[in-house]
Amino acid sequence: MQTKKNIQFLLAGLLLMLVQTSCNKLTESPYSSIFTDNFYKTASDAEAALTAVYAPLGGIYGTAGTGASDFSADQIYPRPVVGRDTYTLFSYDPNYTTQKSFNRQFESPQQIWQSCYQGIEKANWVLLRVPDTNMDTARRSVILGEAYYLRAFYLWMLTKNFRDVVVKTTPSTNIDTAIIGKTMQADVFKQIYQDLEQAIAKLPSYSASIQKGRPSKEVALALYAKTALYAQDWPTALDKAKQVLNSGKYNLMPDVLDVYNVTKEDAARQENMWALECESTSPGISTQIISLFGPKNSDGPQYAASTFGSAFAYQSFFNSFNPADRRRLLLDTNYINRQGKVVAQKDITPITPQGVLVKKYMDPNSIGGNGAVNIPILRLADVYLIAAEASAQQNGPSSEAYGYINTVRSRAGLPGLTIGLSKAPFVDSVLQERSWELFGEGDRWYDLTRTNTFLQVIPKAVNNVFPVRTPQAKNRYFPIPLDEINANPKLEQNPDWK
Residues 374 and 57: their CA atoms lie apart, in Å, by 13
pLDDT of residue 36: 54
Residues 439 and 311: their CA atoms lie apart, in Å, by 13
Dihedral pair phi/psi, residue 275, rounded to 5°: -145, 165
Both 167 and 313 in one domain: the answer is no
pLDDT tens figures, 85-102 = 999 999 999 999 999 999
Choosing from 156, 174, 203, the residue where a domain stops is 203
Choosing from 203, 218, 244, the residue where a domain stops is 203
User: Between residues 173 and 387, which one has the greater pLDDT?
Assistant: 387
User: How many folded domains does the chain comprise?
Assistant: 2
Q: What is the mean pLDDT of residues 391-400?
A: 98
On the question of pLDDT at 11 being above 80, the answer is no
For the domain that residue 17 is a member of, what is the CATH number?
Answer: 1.25.40.390
Cα 97 vs. chain centroid, distance in angstroms? Answer: 23
Residues 257 and 205: their CA atoms lie apart, in Å, by 26
276 within some domain: no
Q: Is the peptide bond before 425 cis (omega within 30 degrees of 0)?
A: no
pLDDT tens figures, 373-394 = 999 999 999 999 999 999 999 9
pLDDT of residue 381: 98
263 within some domain: no
356 within some domain: yes
pLDDT of residue 327: 98
pLDDT of residue 374: 95
pLDDT tens figures, 280-332 = 887 888 899 999 999 999 999 999 999 999 999 999 999 999 999 999 999 99
pLDDT tens figures, 414-436 = 999 999 999 999 999 999 999 99
487 within some domain: no
450 within some domain: no
Q: From 104, 74, 21, 28, select the one nearest 316 (Cα to Cα).
A: 74
Both 293 and 160 in one domain: the answer is no
Which of 18-32, 185-199, 429-443, 460-474 is predicted with the least confidence, judged by mean pLDDT? 18-32
On the question of pLDDT at 28 being above 70, the answer is no
Both 174 and 311 in one domain: the answer is no
pLDDT tens figures, 113-158 = 999 999 999 999 999 999 999 999 999 999 999 999 999 999 999 9
Both 198 and 314 in one domain: the answer is no
Both 162 and 295 in one domain: the answer is no
The model carries a pTM of: 0.92
On the question of pLDDT at 32 being above 50, the answer is no
On the question of pLDDT at 31 being above 60, the answer is no
Choosing from 358, 373, 388, the residue where a domain stops is 373
Range of the domain at 114: 4-203
Q: From 233, 139, 134, select the one nearest 186 (Cα to Cα).
A: 233
Both 328 and 190 in one domain: the answer is no
Name residue 146's amino acid. Answer: E
Name residue 25's amino acid. Answer: K
On the question of pLDDT at 7 being above 60, the answer is no
Both 193 and 302 in one domain: the answer is no
87 within some domain: yes
% of the chain at pLDDT higher than 70: 93
189 within some domain: yes
The dihedral built from the CA positions of residue 433, 437, 439 and 444, taken in this order, carries a sign that is negative
Residues 256 and 92: their CA atoms lie apart, in Å, by 35
108 within some domain: yes
On the question of pLDDT at 19 being above 90, the answer is no
Both 180 and 71 in one domain: the answer is yes
Give the CA angle between residues 270, 396, 413 to the nearest 5°: 40
pLDDT band of 22, cuts 50, 70, 90: very low
